[in-house]
């Protein structure tokens, strides 16, 4: 293997075989992170790379695996970081690296590397772990969302943890803005707390932060009051129009489980929209 002094230019990967790299990539994608992956497809001549080697980089900075080390690995890491920064989630491409001519490596062979983005679960922040939060969170998880359920009331979060299972739901007893500190702004935020004032705070914060979807549980009367407060605070009309309240498709839902179905259906429609 080539000298690894170039490894830390972008990130310092943890050594792992291909199976471990795929495990890390899968778990990160399931939690809603953006995940980019490089795989050695072929080599010709003398190279440090072996076909099948993999290297993964996630939006939270996890970096695991190897494509052989040295200048080749530095170039691949830089390409992964650029792909991540550009939010390049749709394309798959193959790059050929000429180790001698382009990278100054004495081995002088060529390596073909496949770059791809692992499809990640859309992240959702549910604020409020009451009856509705506990019904909605696991349903969204089963629908393929990466759910963060947060509530400062520890007793309700403890109940949620006991009732909700599965890798796609995190239950956090902390303020909503702290719970969201690692969430990308492509996430959805839904306010369903026990307090109307807190719901208003969540919606105002989510709009200011620029989250892709902002919703709130409540009646049409509550929506009117929410809109009036947003207008009084100077929120632009376009931002106010983005607030989905009452959140959920109109299916005549009454119970927490029925309302959870309506909310999940609306978020699936939002996710699938072109």
pLDDT of residue 163: 87
Structural domain ending residue among the three candidates 101, 118, 135: 118
Structural domain ending residue among the three candidates 90, 118, 146: 118
Backbone angles phi and psi of 121, in degrees to 5: -70, 130
pLDDT of residue 91: 72
Burial of 1 (0-12, 13-18, 19+ CB in 10 A): exposed
Task: Please state, in angstroms and rounded to a whole number, the distance separating the CA atoms of residues 93 and 129.
Answer: 42
Residue 1 lies in a domain: no
If asked whether residues 128 and 261 sit together in one domain, one would say: yes
Q: How far is CA 152 from the centre of its chain?
A: 23
If asked whether residues 134 and 235 sit together in one domain, one would say: yes
Task: Please state, in angstroms and rounded to a whole number, the distance separating the CA atoms of residues 128 and 147.
Answer: 12
3-state secondary structure the chain: CCCCCCHHHCCCCECCCHHHHHHHHHHHHHCCCCEEEEEEEEEECECCCCCCCEEEEECCCCEEECCCCHHHHHHHHHHHHHHHHCCCCCCCEEEEEECCCCCCCCCECEEEEEEEEECCCCEEEEECCCHHHHHHHHHHHHCCCEEEEECCCHHHHHHHHHHCCCCCEEEECCCHHHHCCCCCCCCEEEECCCCHHHHHHHHHHHHHHCCCEEEECCCHHHHHHHHHHHHHCCCCHHHHHCEECCCCCCCCCCCHHHHHHHHHHHHHHHHHCC
If asked whether residues 54 and 159 sit together in one domain, one would say: no
Beta bridge partners of 243: 214
Do residues 59 and 34 lie in contact, with contact meaning Cβ atoms separated by under 8 Å?
yes
Structural domain ending residue among the three candidates 118, 148, 172: 118
Residue 2 lies in a domain: no
If asked whether residues 69 and 129 sit together in one domain, one would say: no
Domain containing 261 equals 123-272
pLDDT of residue 5: 34
Q: How many domains does the chain have?
A: 2
Residue 53 lies in a domain: yes
Residue 63 lies in a domain: yes
If asked whether residues 193 and 233 sit together in one domain, one would say: yes
pLDDT of residue 2: 38
**Angle of the 131-142 helix axis to the 154-163 helix axis, nearest 10:** 40
- Tens of pLDDT, residue by residue, the chain (274 residues): 333 333 344 568 898 999 999 999 998 888 888 899 999 999 988 888 899 999 999 988 889 999 988 888 889 999 999 888 876 566 788 999 887 766 656 666 889 999 999 888 899 999 999 999 999 999 999 999 999 999 999 999 999 999 886 668 999 999 999 999 878 888 999 999 999 999 999 999 999 999 999 999 999 999 999 999 999 999 999 999 999 999 999 999 999 999 999 999 999 999 998 7
If asked whether residues 161 and 34 sit together in one domain, one would say: no
Backbone angles phi and psi of 186, in degrees to 5: -80, 0
pLDDT of residue 222: 94
If asked whether residues 265 and 129 sit together in one domain, one would say: yes
If asked whether residues 24 and 75 sit together in one domain, one would say: yes
Burial of 272 (0-12, 13-18, 19+ CB in 10 A): exposed
Q: Which residues of 110-120 are buried (b: 16+ CB within 10 A; e: fewer)?
A: bbbbebbbbeb
* Number of neighbours of residue 51 by Cβ within 10 angstroms: 11
Task: Please state, in angstroms and rounded to a whole number, the distance separating the CA atoms of residues 93 and 116.
Answer: 7
CATH code at position 174:
3.40.50.720
The pTM (predicted TM-score) of the whole model is 0.78
If asked whether residues 207 and 84 sit together in one domain, one would say: no
Beta bridge partners of 126: 149, 190
If asked whether residues 134 and 240 sit together in one domain, one would say: yes
* Number of neighbours of residue 101 by Cβ within 10 angstroms: 10
């Amino acid at each position: 293997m080539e000298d690894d002094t170039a490894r830390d230019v972008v990130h310092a990967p943890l050594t792992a075989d291909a199976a471990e790299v795929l495990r890390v990539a899968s778990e990160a994608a399931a939690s809603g992170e953006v995940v980019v992956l490089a795989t050695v497809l072929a080599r010709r001549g003398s190279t440090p790379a072996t076909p099948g080697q993999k290297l993964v980089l996630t939006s939270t900075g996890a970096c695991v695996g190897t494509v052989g080390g040295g200048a080749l690995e530095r170039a691949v890491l830089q390409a992964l970081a650029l792909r991540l920064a550009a939010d390049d989630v749709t394309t798959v491409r193959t790059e050929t690296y000429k180790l001698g001519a382009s990278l100054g490596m004495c081995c002088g062979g060529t390596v073909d590397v496949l770059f791809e983005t692992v499809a990640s679960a859309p992240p959702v922040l549910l604020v409020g772990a009451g009856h509705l939060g506990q019904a909605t969170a696991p349903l969204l998880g089963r629908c393929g969302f990466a759910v963060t359920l947060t509530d400062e009331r520890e007793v309700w979060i403890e109940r949620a943890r006991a009732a909700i299972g599965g890798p796609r739901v995190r239950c956090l007893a902390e303020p909503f803005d702290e719970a969201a500190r690692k969430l990308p702004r492509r996430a959805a935020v839904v306010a369903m707390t026990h307090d109307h004032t807190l719901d208003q705070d969540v919606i105002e914060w989510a709009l200011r932060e620029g989250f892709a979807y902002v919703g709130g549980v409540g009646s049409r009367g509550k929506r009117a009051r929410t809109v009036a407060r947003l207008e009084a605070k100077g929120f632009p009309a376009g931002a106010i129009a983005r607030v989905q309240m009452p959140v959920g498709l109109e299916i005549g839902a009454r119970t927490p489980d029925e309302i959870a179905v309506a909310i999940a259906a609306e978020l699936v429609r939002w996710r699938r929209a072109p």
